[in-house]
Structure 1
Amino acid sequence: MLVLAGLGNPGPKYAAQRHNFGFMAVDALAARWDFGPERSRFQGLAREGTIPTPAGPVRALLLKPQTFMNESGRSVGDALAFYKVGLPNLVIFHDELDIAPGRFRMKLGGGMAGHNGLRSIGARLGPDFRRARLGIGHPGHKDLVLHYALADFPKAERPWVEALCSACAGAAPLLAAGEDERYQSEVSRLAPAEKLDSRAANRERLER
């Protein structure tokens, strides 16, 4: 079983916020691969289905923790314990301040970059899980981060948000096959982000 968990906060009040980008990506996966109906499980909303790969279909659980962001580890940990799967079979989709808007990066392990959802998962399971990082960019000053992350995506940004979610879903067979580098490349090909100027590109490279 592959567990694909998106991070966010529950309820319509938070649905369109940048901090709920992970939920949006998981919803796109569910729609693209015709997963089953959403059910309340593991302190979250879960769907089961399969994702095709060259080696055959891979069973997957799509999970949206309903514990609020700071307690995401409880939901994710419960799901992994139930299916008796380890961290190699866990992928977390989450918003990422240190990546430019519309860009996408895969990462294995590392720090939590101040993300409370990742911190909660790391405290429960350790840091060595796979991360699907959905770039939202940085507002420029740390004092602005909370308001920025908890603000809705503006209307002008919704096309690239939807395109990136669609690309994450369309390329999912590579993710299910464990080919994270190829998955990253294919997502970026399907949803190319605007080119950065040289200074911004250098800053992003240093932050990865």
Structure 2
Amino acid sequence: MQQGIQCIIGLGNPGGKYQDNRHNVGFWFVDELARRYSVSLRPEGKFFGETGKLELAAGKCWLLKPMTYMNRSGKSANALTRFYRISPENILVVHDELDLPAGAVRLKQGGGHGGHNGLRDIISALGSRDFWRLRLGIDHPGHRDKVTGYVLSRPSREDQHKLELAIDTSADHIDDLLKGDFQKFMNQVHSRGA
């Protein structure tokens, strides 16, 4: 079994006006882990974000919410992972995914950025595509001209419920990610939702 996740980076935009937006589901995921395991997320200037340490029997893992705005997420991701010498293969980036139905969850390693500005900046800053991604489906508004307004708005009540279930289910299986049992995580989580 390969080495597990040592850093979970949830993507989002800082500030109250963005906190309920679809684009912030990565923040929601990190917040849920922090809530479940009583991890205090504190502002850390040298990492340009809020950080905390998750310590479970399955392993230890840094949590990070970049406070740089989405399209500069790489600055924060790079600062923390270089400081702690964490390889891309041990990093999980959690983000919203337009190409999946609301509430669907997919874990994958590597690949492109698919037009996601947060992923684009992280790939550039790390100089690698080999990190893991936890893709939380938010559905697509139907036309690319509508994407910006869509991701920067609140989900419907139904979609919100689906996203909360997706986050809960993924958080339920966090041990598998910390252990490096990625296939087990996929088997448990991909079968749920769409």
TM-score norm. by structure 1 comes to 0.86
The equivalent of 1:116 in structure 2 is 117
Q: Percent of pairs identical after alignment?
A: 39
Q: Is the 8 A contact 2:72 2:121 kept in 1?
A: yes
1:178 equivalent in alignment to 2:183: no
Q: CA deviation at 1:155?
A: 2.1
TM-score norm. by structure 2 comes to 0.92
- Once residues 184 and 33 of structure 1 are traced to their aligned partners in structure 2, the CA distance between those partners, rounded to angstroms, is 22
Q: CA deviation at 1:34?
A: 2.5
Alignment equivalent of 1:28, drawn from 25, 29, 32: 32
> Which structure has the larger Rg?
1
Q: Pairwise mapping of residues 87-126 of structure 1 onto structure 2 (< 5 A)?
A: 87-125=88-126, 126=128
- Once residues 157 and 115 of structure 1 are traced to their aligned partners in structure 2, the CA distance between those partners, rounded to angstroms, is 20
Alignment equivalent of 1:12, drawn from 16, 20, 25: 16
Q: CA deviation at 1:179?
A: 1.6
SS in 2 for 1:12: coil
Q: Is the 8 A contact 2:9 2:94 kept in 1?
A: yes
What whole-Å deviation, never above 9, does each CA across 1:43-89 have from its counterpart, x for those lacking one? 00111121332xxxx11111000000000000000000110111111
SS in 2 for 1:85: coil
What whole-Å deviation, never above 9, does each CA across 1:135-186 have from its counterpart, x for those lacking one? 1111111111111111111223222111111111110000111122221222
The equivalent of 2:85 in structure 1 is 84
Q: Is the 8 A contact 1:51 1:172 kept in 2?
A: no
The equivalent of 2:54 in structure 1 is 49
1:40 equivalent in alignment to 2:22: no
Query: Structure 1 residues 164-173 or 112-121, which shifts more?
Result: 164-173
Q: Is the 8 A contact 2:34 2:41 kept in 1?
A: no
The equivalent of 1:69 in structure 2 is 70
Q: CA deviation at 1:188?
A: 3.7
Unaligned runs of 5+ in 2: none
Q: Is the 8 A contact 1:29 1:168 kept in 2?
A: no
How many residues of Structure 1 are paired with residues of Structure 2 in the alignment?
187
- Once residues 174 and 48 of structure 1 are traced to their aligned partners in structure 2, the CA distance between those partners, rounded to angstroms, is 17
Query: Where do 4+ consecutive residues of structure 1 move more than 6 Å?
Result: none
The equivalent of 1:205 in structure 2 is none
- Once residues 33 and 181 of structure 1 are traced to their aligned partners in structure 2, the CA distance between those partners, rounded to angstroms, is 24
- Once residues 23 and 173 of structure 2 are traced to their aligned partners in structure 1, the CA distance between those partners, rounded to angstroms, is 22
Query: Once superposed, what is the RMSD of the aligned Cα atoms?
Result: 1.3
Unaligned runs of 5+ in 1: 195-208
SS in 1 for 2:77: helix
- Once residues 140 and 160 of structure 2 are traced to their aligned partners in structure 1, the CA distance between those partners, rounded to angstroms, is 17
The equivalent of 2:143 in structure 1 is 141
